[in-house]
Amino acid sequence: MAQTPSQTAANFPSKPIRLVIPNPPGGVADSMARLLAQGLQAKWGQPVVPENRPGGSQMIGSEIVAKAAPDGYT
């Protein structure tokens, strides 16, 4: 049986979220992303795991996100 979008949204997130940061650790973008992760984790009640993937002028991290499953968990 199919679920409506509102039913699906009510169950989100049901597992940890992967937050890809396309910058090296310790910079402003990294700090802001980690603050965002803490806020989302508190709101959603699911772990939000920051993952730094720097390199290639941010293309490495961007490519990881582009190739991830389109389920909203990356």
Let me know the angle formed at the C-alpha of 5 by 47 and 61, rounded to the nearest 5 degrees.
Answer: 45
End-to-end CA distance of the chain: 26
User: What is the pLDDT, as a whole number, of residue 68?
Assistant: 97
pLDDT 10s per residue in the chain (74 long)? 555 666 567 789 999 999 999 999 999 999 999 999 999 999 999 999 999 999 999 999 999 999 999 999 99
User: What is the pLDDT, as a whole number, of residue 10?
Assistant: 78
pTM of the model: 0.82
